Amino acid sequence: MKYLQFTQYVYLFFAAYLIYDGITKVNDPSLGSPWLSFMIAALAVFMFFFRRKFARKFEDRNKKV
């Protein structure tokens, strides 16, 4: 279960990539609309914090038992 501590950072990696993609699309309008990239990046950041909070709850529950 140690790998679950590191998988939450994958969401941050994807968020950074999607923000880069969105900025690229803002600078070159022929590539399309950047809003989908920004929305998915926001979702990835939310998922990072959600998974982090859930992992901490899981650890705390195991420590009490």
Give the residue with greater pLDDT, 21 vs 3.
Answer: 21
Query: What was the pLDDT predicted at 11?
Result: 95
Pair 59, 20: CB distance under 8 Å: no
Q: How far apart are CA 21 and CA 50, in angstroms?
A: 23
Calculate the average pLDDT of the chain: 89
Query: What was the pLDDT predicted at 40?
Result: 97
Query: What was the pLDDT predicted at 44?
Result: 97
4-56 pLDDT tens trace: 778 889 999 999 999 999 999 999 989 889 999 999 999 999 999 999 998 88
Q: Find tokens 């999607």 and name the residue.
A: 18
Query: What was the pLDDT predicted at 25?
Result: 96
